[in-house]
Amino acid sequence: VHWERLPNGYTVTADLYCQQLDRVAEKLKGKQDRIYFLHDNARPHVAKSTRQKLLELGWVTIPHPPYSPDLAPTDYHLFCSLSNHLSEKKFDD
């Protein structure tokens, strides 16, 4: 799992997303022979430049169907513990 917090007022664009993919690729360099990558169908994730970047990186993209709770087990398992940990926490900018 990788995440980055953007400053207030920033929006994730395809260009920014590709930069993030480069940072992830750098961290993963030499750790795995093959990377399987799952992301949703948000516009920056399916933009032509993003698809090209993923091809350049050689990552296998796992198809993601439109949102459906029965098809998004991460909402219930992986992120549930993170959500519980972060509940009632306050973050200052």
pLDDT score for 47: 96
Residues 6+ apart with CB under 8 A from 55: none
Residue ranges, the chain, pLDDT below 50: none
pLDDT score for 74: 58
The string of DSSP letters for 42-91 reads -HHHHSHHHHHHHHHHTPEEPP-PSP-GGG-GGGTTHHHHHHHHHTT---
59 near 35, Cβ under 8 Å?
yes
What CATH code is assigned to 14-86?
3.30.420.10
